[in-house]
Structure formats: C-alpha cells, structure tokens
Amino acid sequence: MSKASIGRQTTWVEKALRVALYTVLLIMAAVYLMPFLVMLLTSLKDVEEIRTGTLLSLPSTLDLSAWSKAWGEACTGNNCGGISPYFLNSFQIVIPAVLISTLLGAINGYVISLWKFRGSDLFFAALLVGCFIPFQVILLPMARTLGWLGIANTTTGLVFVHVVYGVAFTTLFFRNFYQAIPGELVKAARLDGAGFFTIFYRIILPLSTPIIVVTVIWQFTQIWNDFLFGVAFSGFDTQPVTVALNNLVNTSFGGKEYNVDMAAAIIAALPTLAVYVLAGKYFVRGLTAGAVKG
C-alpha cells in the first residue's frame, strides 16, 4: 500500500502547495532585496527625478554624478571632501585590528584548548562574558584611558579598542575549533621534541585555515560596521566611514540630496557586501559558530 502511494505522481494539492511555497519565498526575497534596489536606483537619479518619481521608478539616464559627489565632494559636518578619506580611514583601522585580534585569538584558543593550566577555563568563562557586555559600560573609562595613553582621536586608538573588544570573539572561535583537535597530537609533538611555538606553527596553524577565514571575515565585518567606537573615540579626520556617512546624511545645507546619501551608503556597505558575496559560506559559519555553541 505504501509502495503504491510512493509510486503515484504528486497530487494537485501537493502541486498547489509547492507553487504557494515558491511564491512566498520569492515575495520575501523581493522584500529583502527592495531596500538595496531602491538605494541603487535613487543613487542613479538626479534630485529632480527623485522629487517627481517614486522609489521604484527607473532613472531616465545613467547619472553617476551622485556617486562622484559622495566619493569626493559631499560635506560631512564641516568637511567637504566626500567620504573617500573616511573610507580609507576605515581600512587603516580595520586591517591592523583584524590581523592583531585574529593572531591573538589563535594563540589564546591554542592555549585554552591544548595547553590548559590551572585557571585557564575560568579565564575563558570570564572572557566569554566580554563577548556580551553592552559596551556602554566601558565607553567612558576607555575614553579616559585613550587620553592618558595619548592615542585619543587617532586610528591607533581605534585599532587598540577594536583589538581589545574583538579578542573575546576571536578566542571563542579558535577555542571551539581547537577543541576538536585531539590533545594527543600535542603530546606526540612534545615527545618528538617540539616546543610551544613549534607545535603551533608547524602542526596547529596548518590545520587552521578554515577558522582563520571565518575569524578574519567576522572581524572585518564587525569592525568595518562599527559605529559606537567610531563615534566615541575618533577625531574629525580619523572617523571611520560609518561615522562619516551618518554625518553626511544628517548634514543639511539647503536641499536634501538623497541620491548622494544613497551613493555614499552603498559605498560604505560595499566592502562587507563584497566579502559576503565572495565568501558567504564562511560568513554564515562565523555567525552561527558565535551563536550556537558558547
């Protein structure tokens, strides 16, 4: 009897359900895509077209002037050089911060999972809490500290802050990954005569490529998208692009130029979007790894 029902072709009810399913999924896809599409369309229109047309109307000509203005001329606060300098600031902050925090995370994870010592698990638990505290509780003391260290309002200061508060996550990632490596591997290498760093460099690091990719992508996205530290700890000319974008959008000289706002927003989103499109698999793995297992 069950054989017959399997052999039978799908009924029309099942077919209708399939159609409904696909319809819902595609509509939702459109909903998720819509804001980005509107941004793109708006950035290609001129101010006049924006006023007369609607969100979804197509631009009559391909007008890239809003893009060049956003990049090089738009005013953010009192500065009218576009967001390009801030875009570069972001890279100046992100690259060292990602590299340092990833390296520290790898070493910490290596120690916590393969060279346990008295208190290392307790410390890991303490560090884990660091992933979750609302950063509001450290903002003011950190601002004072950066002042004392003489790196307030500098990109160095921002790199420092991002490393300090990123290392909890990177350690978590590497620790969970290294937890799956049998401890016997380290024992074998120790008997073979390898030391702490040799084992790390020759045996553990070559196994770590996937988690390095996940961590680098996670950190890149987090730090690039940061606003709170940027706005609290940067000076006028060391702002990251998120802060500059917010200033640009909230600066109103005369009429609002939505096309420039949208172009600037897309520019600010481009690096992380590119990473997502190129390495989405690792991005998702980072998201779920940070989330599912603590």
Partner 1 sequence: MNTKAANSGSQKTQSGRPARLSLADWMPKIVMAPTVVVTLVCIYGYMIWTAVLSFTNSRMLPSYKFVGVDQYERLFNNDRWIVALTNLGIFGGLFILICLFLGVVLAIFLDQKIRAEGAIRTIYLYPMAISFIVTGTAWKWLLNPTNGFEKLMVDLGFENFKFDWLINPDMVVYCLVIAAVWQASGFVMALFLAGLRGVDGDLIKAAHLDGASTFTTYRRIILPSLKPVFFSAMVILSHIAIKSFDLVAALTNGGPGYSSDLPANFMYAHTFTRSQIGLGSASAMVMLGCVLAILIPYLYSELRGERHE
Partner 2 sequence: MANLVIDNVKKRYGTTEVLKGINIAIEAGEFLILVGPSGCGKSTLMNSIAGLEDVSEGRILIADNDVTYTSPKDRDIAMVFQSYALYPNMTVAQNISFGLEMRKVPKEEREVEVQRVAELLQISHLLNRKPAQLSGGQRQRVAMGRALARRPQLYLFDEPLSNLDAKLRVEMRTEIKKLHQKLGTTIVYVTHDQIEAMTLADRIAVMKDGEVQQLGTPQEIYDNPANLFVAGFMGSPAMNFIPAKVVSQDGNPMLELATNSTVTLPFPKPEALANHIGQTVLLGLRPEMITEPQPHKVGQDFVTTTDIKVEVTEPMGADTMIITRVNDAEINCRSNPAYPAAPGSVIEMMFDTSKAVVFDQASGQRLDI
- Interacting positions 265-284 with partner 1 (CB under 8 A): 265-266, 268-269, 272-273, 275-277, 280, 283-284
The option from partner 2, partner 1, none interacting with 182 (CB < 5 to 8 A, set by class) reads: partner 2
C-alpha dist (Å) from residue 43 to 48, 60, 182, 201, 272: 12, 12, 53, 48, 19
Which residues, 192 to 231, sit near partner 1 by CB under 8 A? 195-197, 221, 224-228, 231
Cβ-based neighbour number of residue 197 at 10 Å: 10
- Specify the residue, 62 or 191, whose C-beta has the smaller distance to partner 2: 191
User: Is 192 near partner 2 (CB under 8 A)?
Assistant: yes
Cβ-based neighbour number of residue 173 at 10 Å: 24
We find the least distance from the C-beta atom of residue 175 to partner 1, in angstroms, to be 12
Closest CA to 121 of 166, 165, 171, 183: 171
| Rounded CA separation 274/294 (Å) | 28
| Rounded CA separation 285/294 (Å) | 14
- Specify the residue, 107 or 203, whose C-beta has the smaller distance to partner 1: 107
Token pair recorded at residue 258:
């939505």
Candidate segments 42-50, 169-177, 182-190, 275-283, binder of partner 2 by CB under 8 A: 182-190
Number of residues that bind partner 1 (CB under 8 A): 91
- Specify the residue, 185 or 287, whose C-beta has the smaller distance to partner 2: 185
Beta pairing partners, 76: 79
Of 51, 187, 256, 281, the residue at the interface with partner 2 (CB under 8 A) is 187
- Contact predicate 108/175, CB 8 Å: yes
Query: What one-letter code names the amino acid at 242?
Result: T
Which positions lie near partner 2, rule CB under 8 A? 182, 184-185, 187-195, 198, 202-203, 206-207
